[in-house]
Chains A and B, each alone.
Chain A
């Protein structure tokens, strides 16, 4: 059976035009998807049943046993950490926040290793953003800063920017100018009209220089700023100022470079400065599928988008203190529940070592690096394939994903609801 208009559940683009062919409980083919989407839909490394570590081997256990033991581990902890959430849908994330509140836990999502600094900057100076539809239909200048969409968001350029005609951009490839700023040549920089190669860690200075130029202070700029010539800086500023509608997209190359949130703040203030001359917007290239949704859901319930500490019964937020990497590195938490993420593959070594020392439970469809650090793993349905729910695209547009077939696994929501029920009963 062929299903049309399927929403991809890999990156933050949430492409909603996939055609997926399903046979029973297997995906046979994927059309319109990028390589990443095909891997996601066709991948077949799912864990069959819940497992528990038993010395150096694994024992198969029932869902009820796994859920009961997970609840027990979390109830015994003095500083539990609930991490992940970006690979699942909003309904499950919501249960997660309520579970954290009742446990007095810290709950954090993958923003902590991607666009957390963007959120900090937005909290300082706001977010002059727009939807991807606006960019597609209007933008004549697109800047990718510290982002490599060809590799990380393969359809971003073809659906929204370089190769996509829009209502006011009838011949997008010729109409739009693309500027790529990065520390190295990439697949995306090859496609740029203007490639600005910045010294590693030099983004902040380049952004400051561009702001000064747009403010009319060209005379202050030295001949070279962090590997970029003054002439190129002037040229980039002129391209941006002469745009009818410009859009900046930034990636983890900017958020995780030295200066972190201050880089993003500088980029936002550059955008605001440009908006004194023309219309300019700025948006993060969110990577994990529903990471934007996790920020939304956390904020609805707790007031904060990530790194929320409920230890005192009220929500406290302070990235650097309550972010999972920092908590794990300091060895603070004494139990961890990982949902829809793989911190074992992405976190620093000492964090992974601490995850292995404490009772870690993973709720995830697949065997991954975190499996090897965990005490229990509970397999679930894959959001957007055999589980349905709401996810947010990188520009904040909510999109409902569908269940393509009825599989054998419970989804994240069902498993978390059962854990929550046990914890609630124990807490009274």
Chain B
């Protein structure tokens, strides 16, 4: 089944919409789906033109397509455990929070906290992602725990903060402190970044661009020839963060 949600014009288009109920399993039985516009509770129909195409007998067979002014819609795909969501433009904060399976494709940019505390599944963002991509909530000790978040563009500050498992791949540049407090999983940065992996205790971070303002508390551990995505790279190896008795691995391309 394909569900197409096209945003309706709104009098106050900048007021965020909270739509954690937009996940495939909720459309299987065409539940009464409610969303919030600011402090007002709305029916899905109030804010979207909704079109259903074809049948589905399980959430795996449900594909949701979001189009229109989607950049202010928050929490789409929260707790998603099957199916597919395609966002034709930008998406608001917290897309894919806690998702455990399924796939989210974002053709535009994603706002902050993309894939927050994600457990499994796959998120592909073809544009840029905001701050705290694949990170944890405030005060949480663990961020993303499983699955894959892939961003074709750049990512903001604090990317993969508290990363505990899974793989985060940023093809472009990252902002400040990617992989800060990282304790597991793999973070791959295709471009440049600043102050990577502060206070990390575990996991692996690979940087294929420049690592600016490299922290003084990583111990040089030789070099290694690695194969990534079918290509050979000579990487400088570091262990740290020594300030935290960390045993993480940080690799920076020579």
Interface residues of A (CB under 8 A from B): 77-80, 103-105, 120, 123-124, 201-202, 204-205, 208-209, 211-212, 215, 217, 220-222, 225, 258-259, 262, 265-266, 269, 310-312, 317-321, 330-332, 334
Contact = CB atoms under 8 A, between A and B. Distances in A.
Interface stretch (B24-32, B52-60, B237-245): B237-245
B176 A104 contact: no
Contacts of B113: 318, 321
A266 B16 contact: no
Given A79-B38, A269-B199, A334-B15, 18 more contacts: A80-B39, A104-B39, A123-B138, A204-B198, A204-B215, A208-B215, A208-B241, A212-B216, A212-B217, A259-B176, A259-B198, A262-B158, A262-B199, A311-B36, A320-B132, A331-B14, A332-B15, A334-B38
Contacts of A204: 177, 195, 198, 215
B137 interface: yes
A278 B219 CA distance: 27
A263 B18 CA distance: 32
6 contacts: A205-B195, A211-B217, A269-B243, A320-B131, A330-B14, A331-B14
A217 B36 contact: no
B93 interface: yes
B42 to A, nearest CB: 11
A55 to B, nearest CB: 24
A214 B72 CA distance: 46
A124 to B, nearest CB: 6
Interface of B: 12, 14-16, 18, 36-40, 93, 112-113, 131-132, 137-139, 158, 176-177, 180, 195, 198-199, 213, 215-217, 219, 241-245
A258 B93 CA distance: 22
Given A217-B242, A311-B36, A334-B15, A318 B215 contact: no
B18 A220 contact: no
Contacts of B242: 212, 215, 217, 220
A225 B216 contact: yes
A167 B67 CA distance: 69
Contact of A312 (B36, B132, B176, B244): B36
Looking at chain A's contact residues, the main secondary structure is: loop
A220 B219 contact: yes
Contacts of A330: 14
Contact of B199 (A202, A220, A266, A310): A266
Given A225-B216, A332-B14, A319 B138 contact: yes
A103 B40 CA distance: 11
A319 B219 CA distance: 34
A125 B115 CA distance: 24
B93 A321 contact: yes
Contacts, number: 105
A181 B223 CA distance: 36
A78 B37 contact: yes
Nearest to A354: B14
Contacts of A212: 216-217, 242-243
A104 B158 CA distance: 30
A317 B12 CA distance: 23
Contact of A318 (B14, B138, B216): B138
B115 to A, nearest CB: 15
Nearest to B220: A220
B247 to A, nearest CB: 14
A240 to B, nearest CB: 15
Q: Which of B37, B198, B215, B219 has the most CB of A within 10 A?
A: B198
A78 B217 contact: no
Contact of B217 (A124, A201, A208): A208
A311 B139 contact: no
A262 B93 CA distance: 21
B101 to A, nearest CB: 25
B174 to A, nearest CB: 14
A161 B18 CA distance: 49
B138 A79 contact: no
Nearest to A331: B14
Given A78-B15, A319-B138, A205 B36 contact: no
Contacts of B112: 320-321
A8 to B, nearest CB: 33
Contacts of B93: 321
